[in-house]
Amino acid sequence: MIATREMLIIGVLAAGSMASWYLARSGPEEETRTASFDAARRGYYLKSARILGTGADGQLLYELQAREAEQQGTNRVSFTDVRLDYSPQSDVPWSINADTATIHADEQLVQLEGHVRAISREGFSGSDTEIRTQFLEIYPEEFLAETDERVQIRIGERSLTATGMLASLKDNQVTLKSNVRGKFAP
């Protein structure tokens, strides 16, 4: 009877230790594996990214350089510390900088946010031109830039502010939407 009792205790202890091992194994490690798998499924992350955008003809249209790029879901890529330049073949003399940019796979636009600054040495009226705003949508294939936010434009010595703007970067034409105010030097 003592041997049976000892065997029963050893069996209970063995079952308890097996259950403890199983519970410890499937706890945090399982969560870590799931978290790693979910992070891998989210997409890619790049440092010092350089994206080349092409036109409908497959030719280089623009180059977007960023400090970091990260895929957000299946159809969106976000960039930080951004510079967008049109290719020399496009004959668009604008360089555009921003804190962040977003490109959606299903849309033909680049959304720029935070301290957006577009600069051209051959800008409007042939003068150095600078456009500043907090949000700007660029339609690269149409060479258009648009915002409904407050915008400040400096053309040589002249300065304008407005709410909203549509600019044709290739033709150096701008349409201000509302609340236009300006300062012109003689």
Cβ-contact 46, 29 below 8 angstroms: no
Task: Look at residues 98, 96, 91, 94 and name the one whose alpha carbon lies nearest to residue 55.
Answer: 91
Backbone dihedral angles phi then psi of residue 167, each to the nearest 5 degrees:
-120, 135
Distance, in Å, from the CA atom of 174 to the CA atom of 15, rounded to the nearest integer, reads: 79
Distance, in Å, from the CA atom of 54 to the CA atom of 89, rounded to the nearest integer, reads: 12
Please list the pLDDT of the chain residue by residue as tens digits (186 residues). Answer: 556 766 666 766 676 677 676 766 655 555 555 555 555 455 788 899 998 888 888 889 999 999 999 998 888 999 999 999 998 888 888 999 999 999 988 888 999 999 999 998 786 667 788 999 999 999 999 999 999 999 999 988 889 999 999 999 988 888 999 998 887 765
Domain ranges of the chain: 2-40, 44-183
Query: Please, is 70 exposed, middle or buried when counting C-beta atoms within 10 Å of its C-beta (0-12, 13-18, 19+)?
Result: middle
User: Considering the domain 44-183, what is its CATH architecture?
Assistant: Sandwich (2.60)
